[in-house]
């Protein structure tokens, strides 16, 4: 059994996952993100550590006698931060939608270095990447110690090594994806010496074992193998059965992301599409909305209604002319503007919360369809699109299918945590590859319905 840990933006989940990738038990702890008026968005590190350690201990106590084969991680992708020069961890860390790196992003753009940045890192010029936050802090006179990812910091407390995987290294904005090494120029620009950066390994690598301290924190047996964590979108890709050129994966959580695989680096230069290697010659390319799920949670909070009931009512509601651009965490991938804000159009006194909910989920579908269309030339047209995550209910997926005019397949919602377990089984030698070894059960296949009004809204939305 794998103890699989999903370090999400708004919550931590720990689960017991078997070799068939079935979940036997799981515990979720919510995590509060502090949003500040200056654009900062941070999480208290101690809250995450407590959620992980307490969650693992409670899980093992509830399943007394279970044999743990390894512990593995799925992690939000842009959480890479420095320790102090004395080796202390920060009190809090920035998450993806934090915009404190915008001035440094603008500085690089004004210097004309955007193309070089994407050629080196595989990522578009965007303030979400830690390199820009670090550059701003460096310019303000701050000194740094060793750099860690969220999962590597936790793993080291358990007894593991400092390594991070290719996907998380790439999401730092400081990693040369072709050379498979840290970029000296970008690290220096961020105020970091090469000796402060961790070793980088492929996804599924075993990087240590639980020691006595780790046992004391969690109850995990001493000697339990620890597997390097990967970007949560990468974990969701192989957990949901993604296959290059065959199966794309749409993951709906706090953020929403379309992930597609390819053997070899895809030609997406100048497109604002991030791409990175994960193991050997397998590359993943991402298209998404930074705060797609958060937008629905915001709306539900305003109306004091559960998200699920709002979406269910919205699926039964007729299409209206209300149009929403849900840029609560900046714009989607192709617009590449972290400072963009949300907007609603054609509001009238008869518009209610359910109409707005439907318009928000339609926007998600418009973005999904746009992503599939724009990536077809470089990544091919996938035969299937698997939808997973807490936001991939039948009702939400039905609205998205109509909006993107594509058939969508719903698979179990726990793809990221299953993907973390899958990479552990790969690391232990139980599976040969991250892709092609797991076919998730199909919960439903949703065909799109034609609607002329929705087609008009799609054209207007994408022209905005």
Report pLDDT for 403: 97
Report pLDDT for 182: 97
Range with the poorest average pLDDT among 10-14, 180-184, 285-289 = 285-289
Q: What is the mean pLDDT of the chain?
A: 94
- The model's pLDDT over 22-39, given as tens digits with 9 standing for 90+, comes to 999 999 999 999 999 888
Alpha carbons 153 and 90: distance in angstroms, whole number: 11
Residue 331 has pLDDT above 90, yes or no: no
Alpha carbons 323 and 361: distance in angstroms, whole number: 10
Q: Are 404 and 365 in contact (CB under 8 A)?
A: yes
- Work out the average pLDDT over 345-362: 95
Alpha carbons 91 and 153: distance in angstroms, whole number: 13
Alpha carbons 202 and 332: distance in angstroms, whole number: 28
- The model's pLDDT over 228-246, given as tens digits with 9 standing for 90+, comes to 999 999 999 999 999 999 9
- The model's pLDDT over 438-459, given as tens digits with 9 standing for 90+, comes to 999 999 999 999 999 999 999 9
- The model's pLDDT over 115-129, given as tens digits with 9 standing for 90+, comes to 999 999 999 999 999
Domains and CATH numbers, the chain: 2-231 (3.30.420.40), 241-411+432-464 (3.30.420.40)
Sign of the dihedral defined by the CA atoms of residues 35, 38, 43, 44, in that order: negative
Report pLDDT for 293: 84
Report pLDDT for 294: 83
Residue 52 has pLDDT above 80, yes or no: yes
Residues β-bridged to residue 444:
410
- Work out the average pLDDT over 312-326: 94
Tell me the pTM.
0.94
Alpha carbons 197 and 418: distance in angstroms, whole number: 29
Residue 329 has pLDDT above 80, yes or no: no
- The model's pLDDT over 393-424, given as tens digits with 9 standing for 90+, comes to 999 999 999 999 999 999 999 999 999 999 99
């Amino acid at each position: 059994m794998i103890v699989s840990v999903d370090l999400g933006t708004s919550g931590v989940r720990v689960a017991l996952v078997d070799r068939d990738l079935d979940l036997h038990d799981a515990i979720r702890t919510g995590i509060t993100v502090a949003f500040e008026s200056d654009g900062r968005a941070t999480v208290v590190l101690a809250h995450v550590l407590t959620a992980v350690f307490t969650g693992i201990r409670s899980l093992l106590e509830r399943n007394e006698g279970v044999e743990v084969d390894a512990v593995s991680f799925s992690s939000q992708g842009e959480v890479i931060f420095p320790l102090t020069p004395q080796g202390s961890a920060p009190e809090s860390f920035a998450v993806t939608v934090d915009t404190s790196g915008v001035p440094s992003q603008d500085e690089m753009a004004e210097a004309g270095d955007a193309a070089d940045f994407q050629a080196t890192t595989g990522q578009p010029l965007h303030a979400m990447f830690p390199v820009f936050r670090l550059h701003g802090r460096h310019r303000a006179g701050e000194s740094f110690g060793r750099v860690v990812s969220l999962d590597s910091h936790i793993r080291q407390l358990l007894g593991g090594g400092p390594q991070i995987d290719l996907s998380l290294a790439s999401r730092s904005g400081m990693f040369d994806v072709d050379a498979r090494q840290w970029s000296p120029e970008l690290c220096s620009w961020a105020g970091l010496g090469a000796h402060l950066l961790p070793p980088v390994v492929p996804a599924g690598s075993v990087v240590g074992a639980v020691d006595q301290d780790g046992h004391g924190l969690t109850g995990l047996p001493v000697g339990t193998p620890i597997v390097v964590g990967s970007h949560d979108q990468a974990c969701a890709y192989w957990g949901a059965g993604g296959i290059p050129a065959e199966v794309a994966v749409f993951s709906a959580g706090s953020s929403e992301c379309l992930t597609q695989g390819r053997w070899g680096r895809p030609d997406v230069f100048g497109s604002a599409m991030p791409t990175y290697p994960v193991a050997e010659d397998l590359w993943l390319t991402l298209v998404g909305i930074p705060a797609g799920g958060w937008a629905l949670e915001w709306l539900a909070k305003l109306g004091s209604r559960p998200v699920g009931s709002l979406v269910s009512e919205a699926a039964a509601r007729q299409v209206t002319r209300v149009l929403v651009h849900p840029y609560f965490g900046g714009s989607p991938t192709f617009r590449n503007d972290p400072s963009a804000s949300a907007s609603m159009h054609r509001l009238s006194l008869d518009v209610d919360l359910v109409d707005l909910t439907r318009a928000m989920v339609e926007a998600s579908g418009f973005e999904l369809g746009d992503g599939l269309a724009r990536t077809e030339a470089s990544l091919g047209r996938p035969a299937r699109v698997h939808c997973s995550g807490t936001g991939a209910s039948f009702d939400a997926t039905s609205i998205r299918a109509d909006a993107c005019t594509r058939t969508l397949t719903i698979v179990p919602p726990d793809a990221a945590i299953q993907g973390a377990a899958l990479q552990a089984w790969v690391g232990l030698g139980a599976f040969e590859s991250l892709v092609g070894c797991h076919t998730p059960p199909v919960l439903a296949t949703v065909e799109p319905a034609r609607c002329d009004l929705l087609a008009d809204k799609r054209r207007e939305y994408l022209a905005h």
